[in-house]
Homo-oligomer: A and B are copies of this chain.
Amino acid sequence: MEFTAKAISEFLGGEIVGDPEVKVNDFSKIEEGRKGTLSFLANPKYTKHLYTTSSSIILVNKNLHLDHKISATLIKVDDAYQAFASLLNLYVQSVPKNTGVDAKAFIDPSSVYGKNAFIGAFTFIGKNVKIGDNVSLYPQVYIGDNVTIGDNTVLYPGVKVYRDCLIGSGCTIHAGTIIGSDGFGFAPQEDHNYKKIPQIGNVIIKDDVEIGANVTIDRATIGSTIIGQGAKLDNLIQIAHNVEIGDNTVIVAQAGVAGSTKIGRNCIIAAQAGIVGHLKIADKVIVGAQSGVTNNIEKEGEIVLGAPAYNAREKKREFVVSKQLPSIYRRFNELEKEVEMLKKKK
């Protein structure tokens, strides 16, 4: 399908700069633009490509100021990234959906699913499972006994959900992710063996949560491990037993949260960060990449960095000085000698 700049601009409520009749039939990145495609510019790092790209149409922010002439047609919108996302959404909705229950799936007769279900081949559904409307379970998914899954939720291939867990509506969970494995609880014995603490709780994933691939979310010892509404988790993340993640909190790839820690709403936990157990993290906190949080963070909106993590601005000052340590140390040794000389001269 082809669309003119004019049609797209009208759909987005934008303003055209250039030829309104130019047509596109695909998307491209601005730095790899091709004729007949539409690109967007949001990250200022990429502005230079505006003048060299071959893209036919570029979505830009309203306030963009042009330094030179350009060949592409611009569509100015309030937020180029979001406008681009709207167009991608239109495209995605045009892709035909999988439907139907495959004869090669196993569904226990005690379990139920709603209308428009897609249940793929080799997917296993245990006893007393309740699955809402418009749910997609791709092939090779495992759903343990007593699990509940809300409407419009998608589980990609190979997701495993252990017994008793609850997954909300509008959730997306990517391939290979494990929900509800046992928390890591062992009591040391006098003979140096460990005795397993049974993990009889569950995992509750609230509505509109997206979870990436190969994530692990352990069930609670007792009670629930909770992922708050609208939270977004990237790939290869570890969430330990009895953790609670607040609504709309974002956790980036390979980060880990240890047992019983409670993270507030609207936080951002950057990639490869670690948070130790039994802590409380306030709302809107940002934890920098690879940081190690070892204490409660009580101040809303606090930004921390480093391992052990503390205020990011101070930590950055420390980085600046510590990088100079070898030369400072040489100066220090010199100074010691000078003071020694001064003392002798007395």
Point out residues on A near B: beta carbons under 8 Å.
27-29, 32, 43, 45, 79, 81-82, 84-85, 88-89, 91-92, 102, 104, 106, 120-122, 124, 138-140, 142, 144, 156-158, 160, 162, 172, 174-176, 178, 181-182, 184, 186-187, 192-198, 200, 208, 210, 212-216, 218, 221-223, 230, 232, 234-236, 238, 240, 242, 247-248, 250, 252-254, 256, 258, 265-266, 271-272, 274, 276, 278, 289-290, 292, 307-308, 310, 314, 317-326, 328-329, 331-332, 335-336, 338-339, 342-343, 345-346
Contacts and interface: CB of A to CB of B under 8 A. Distances in A.
B216 A214 contact: yes
B290 A307 contact: yes
A332 B332 CA distance: 8
Number of copies: 3
A278 B44 CA distance: 12
A188 to B, nearest CB: 9
Contacts of A142: 138-140, 157-158, 175
A300 to B, nearest CB: 13
Given A92-B198, A120-B124, A322-B322, 20 more contacts: A27-B222, A79-B187, A124-B157, A157-B160, A174-B182, A184-B212, A194-B230, A194-B248, A212-B218, A214-B215, A253-B256, A254-B256, A271-B276, A274-B290, A276-B289, A310-B323, A314-B326, A318-B326, A331-B332, A335-B336
Most interface-central of A104, A172, A210, A307 (chain B CB within 10 A): A307
B254 A238 contact: yes
Nearest to A88: B198
A287 to B, nearest CB: 13
A266 to B, nearest CB: 5
Given A184-B212, A192-B266, A175 B160 contact: yes
A172 B32 CA distance: 29
A121 to B, nearest CB: 5
A143 to B, nearest CB: 10
Contact of A156 (B160, B184, B222, B331): B160
Given A212-B184, A256-B254, A338-B343, A124 B140 contact: yes
Given A124-B139, A184-B252, A213-B216, A325 B318 contact: yes
**Leading 6 A-B pairs by shortest Cβ distance:** A88-B198, A142-B157, A181-B213, A216-B235, A178-B213, A160-B175
